[in-house]
Amino acid sequence: MKKIISIIILVATLTLVGYVLIKFSKKEESSTQTQNNQKITVVTTLFPFYDFAKNIGGDKVEVSLLLPPGAEPHSFEPRPTDILQISSADVFIYTGDLMEPWVDDLLQGIDSRDLIIIDASQEVDLVKTEHGHGHAHHDHENEDAHESDHEKTLELNNHYQESHLDPHFWLDFSNAQAVVKSIARALKNVQPENQELFENNAERYNLALSNLDQKYHQQLANCSTRKIIYGGHYAFGYLAHRYNLDYIAAQGFSPNSEITAQNLAELTEQTNQEKLNYVFYEELENSKIAEIIAKETNTETLPLSSAHNVSKKDLNENVSFISIMEKNLTNLTKGLNCNFKHE
């Protein structure tokens, strides 16, 4: 009898232990599944990186753009909510010190040990150009009188002019491809179990960029003029170089850089000399400069977007970096009077 009772107690004990182990195993499994299903939080400073990360991560990421829709990025400064957002993110992507000089101080002020930081400018070779001022000049005689009003603008302009490095590197699509690869690497580090997904999405996106590059080469190969007169800041140097275009911007690297009457006269003269039909203006920015030149030269205006940022309407409609660049190509083909025939 005692033997039977002992056996019953042993069986009951083993059953209880087994039940506990199964429950614990299921709890661990549930916890792991929850962790795997949790989205990677990505914070980006500019729209191109926002779009890259969304396309690479798919439904595994939650991507935020720091810039408010339509905001000018060169003079942007983070708000306290932005700092909190970056500090709690898994991945932070920014353009580099030239475009966002505030990043270094911000990162020193937060605990970033678990934060993967991508300085996108480290993935490419920045171009040093003597045309970084975009043929814009400062009126030094009046500079002192306006110093209090323009102190921040002058500081920003000097930041770009001292280096002569063009920070708009994403407008060379081979550079954009390099950044896409770096974002895929970062996402794989956060979620190794989704490595294949991120790699496939990055490869697919880079193929789309490669096809876009080919379309630019084809459609801009045979044009009546290769001269772009641009009534905005110097943003398209990389694109112009890649497709052998002659690009002159009214302003320097910053949209806040000064433009003089003499500079406007030079751009007007070049437009007339080249017998251009179109002057380009900066989408999302004031088109006044281009309109002045167009009025003086009896030409029309066309927009070009450097894709730093997008409007609220475009953001809500999920406009993509590639669709913006396709619109640019359409306007360049028209504005430069390019003879392109679809095969």
- The model scores a pTM over 0.85: no
Beta-ladder partners of 50: none
- State the Rg of the chain over Cα: 27
Domain segments of the chain as ranges: 40-127+170-209, 150-167+217-335
- Cα 163 from Cα 175, distance rounded (Å): 20
| Phi, then psi, of 121 in degrees rounded to 5 | -65, -20
Query: Which tens digits make up the pLDDT trace of 108-127?
Result: 888 878 999 999 999 999 98
Q: Which two tokens stand for residue 127?
A: 């171009």
Query: Which tens digits make up the pLDDT trace of 298-316?
Result: 999 999 999 999 999 998 9
How many other CB atoms sit within 10 Å of the CB of residue 192?
9
Q: How is domain 150-167+217-335 classified at the architecture level of CATH?
A: 3-Layer(aba) Sandwich (3.40)
Contacts of 303 (CB under 8 A, 6+ apart): 280, 281, 282, 283, 287, 331
Mapped onto helix, strand or coil, the DSSP state of residue 251 is: coil
Average pLDDT over residues 316-329: 96
What pLDDT, on a 0 to 100 scale, did the predictor assign at position 58?
A: 97
What pLDDT, on a 0 to 100 scale, did the predictor assign at position 180?
A: 98
What pLDDT, on a 0 to 100 scale, did the predictor assign at position 73?
A: 82
Q: How is domain 40-127+170-209 classified at the architecture level of CATH?
A: 3-Layer(aba) Sandwich (3.40)
The chain-wide mean pLDDT, for the chain, equals 82
In the chain, what is the greatest distance between 2 CA atoms, to the nearest angstrom?
114
- DSSP conformation letters of 275-291: T-SEEEEETTS--HHHH
